[in-house]
Structure 1
Amino acid sequence: MSNGRLLAASLAGATIVLVVIGTVWPSASAAAYAGGEKFIEDSSTPEAAVQNLGDKIRAQAWDKAYSSLANRAQFTEPQFRRDLTSYYPDLRTYATLSSFEVQPLHASDSDATVRLKMRWSTVVGPSSTTRDLHVVRNGNEWRVEWPLQKETIVPPQVIAVNYLRWDVINRTAGDDWGAQDVEAPHVRIVDMHPVQRAEGLVLLGELLNEDVVPAYVSVSATLLSKDQKPIETGGTFDEISHQLLPKQVTPFLIRFPSVSLADVGSVRMNPFSTLVPASADPVIEIENEKMNPAPDASLTGQLTNQSGQIANVAHVLGTFYDKSGQVVWVGDQYVDHALLPQTPVAFNIHIPEDLARKVSSERTVVSTYTFGDSR
């Protein structure tokens, strides 16, 4: 699915917010860099060298971070920067490094291995990456060798496409008064039930586009007390596939953190749909899916873009069912790197340990968003 208008608006708004936050509450490293002051150059231990590099990356002091590397002659500063912020526009392009951890793994008198865990703030939530860094000793100081991940090169080729597409022609200002637009698609909630979690009440379910046209969908719910008074209203943004082609099904999950199921008498569900133009391209194939058991329960696999169009953002949704076919959990992950044609990218969806033991089957769907001219 390829409709980037909503995501593009979110990206723009979140970018403004991040800029304001960075201006009002800058980190100490960022303030030092912006003010022309020097970073605290402590390279007396492998951990200190990696800590210093992390501070520079967080402050986006790319030139200083690059200059501190032991193997900088192997690549250019732009390549180092793109390795961290992506070669193609995607979630990482608009992310900032919010925090990081330094964990020593091995050390000798001449070299060491240190793990750098980086937590990025993106417009759709946090994202984590890990690099195991080789650190070498040079006299009395230590320097980091950066493990540059080479850019994937897609060979020149012609990819034939044969996919469905829907265009929408709405009424114009010159139409007669009272003329109506095309009717909104018919959607229906086919499953819904509440689940009590330690963090609050969760509503799980599935929504079906039972029409012959594509739909942009959303779901809201109002919790009612036993005397039918409203308790709280909530909706879902992330844990749903908003754009549905005809006859497609999406899971949804709505969270009510401060509500207990014992206080709820009934639930009023409100599905929403509007007609949107859409196409069935790019086609994303899901490969090598595997359910990993508790204690670190997860669904892993790979996404392969079968089209010739770059998908800037991919959103993976997993619906997990018990033996009776009832939804027991809905999990999701945004892939923070763009999906290039014919290039597999891994995904990992976490499953709560107590619910993982109830899972008998699963279904995975992928939504993609393309913005700008990234082809």
Structure 2
Amino acid sequence: MTSAADQPLGGSHGERPGDPGPVPATGPGAAADPIRGRARGTAPAPLSILDLATVGAGHTAGEALAATTELARAAESWGYHRFWVAEHHGMPGVASSSPAVLLAHLAAHTSTLRLGSGGVMLPNHAPLAVAEQFGLLEALHPGRIDLGLGRAPGTDQATARALRRGLSEGADDFPQQLAELTHFLDGDFPAGHPYARLRAVPSGEGRPPIWLLGSSGFSARLAGRLGLPFAFAHHFSAANTVPALDLYRSSFEPSAVLDEPYALIGVSAVAAQDEEAALRLARSAGLAMLRLRQGRPGLIPTPDEAAAHPYTPAERDFLEEWLGTMVLGAPAQVAQGLERLRARTGADELMVTSHIHGHTARRHSYALIAQAYGLA
């Protein structure tokens, strides 16, 4: 869910200043639905996190992954419903190149939090390999795994070619790849199919629900036609959010998975003590995105670097437009902004992401959002 059409939407574990206390993740009334989220506390809707294992300037990928692990543990205690990671390649500022590997690690360090891919870029992989990886995750951690799928590479064309060596299909064949993956997960290829006698192992003890990810109408329509849940990348395609969700709902056909549409949207959100402090943090994400769009991906710059950057008029326009799609400010401002966005789009669930520099600031932002939104 994080960078182009239909792509992917790090300490101690004690409480810190500004953190809400732990929230029970199970118990009477806990949702058993594998798809629909549960709103915790007094929150008006389920709230989740998309994390990219962000690597900031001055830090290493190992430190970023350790921070993501700590953040997942904290998110579980704060009452977030699910925690997704995304597949990206060739981006120094993003350490989550292999969602299946990272999810196995996160699942071993949490106990109730739903974990998933936001997403796996299916054209980069053989469907059988994805079925085996996520079948194994489901067997290890039953009832906790989501399989979110995108149809773009999550990288540049040269890297995509290197990833897909030996794979003839691309994004245009996504519906066929998805059908093949689903048959491998369910073990139900029709008689006479070339793969009818093949089995993805492990399988048969349940499988993770499939989500389609999107930043345009293609996956919205496909998710609706197949009766699957849909996750839209509002955080980098805000102008397309309402049209895509409308298309999803109008295309929806009930299935064995869902009897009515269920959609979440990814939202860039940053909370701090006041709006100016949040804006200062958010500018580091804006400069990182600017450099990515210019073909110069790198580590997430510090707020000082972002403030001192000599922006051209065109770059400043890009930054202002980018910041305009974010929900940021003091905690109450962010909570109100998230609710306005949910009301405007009709989203069933919100998935916040803070692609900012520094784990302390990022963790504090998620803690403030959880508290202000009513999770605790």
TM-score (norm 1): 0.20
Who wins on radius of gyration, i.e. which is larger?
1
The answer to which structure has the higher strand fraction is 1
Greater relative contact order, per chain length (Cα 8 Å cut-off, separation 6+): 2
The answer to which structure has the higher helix fraction is 2
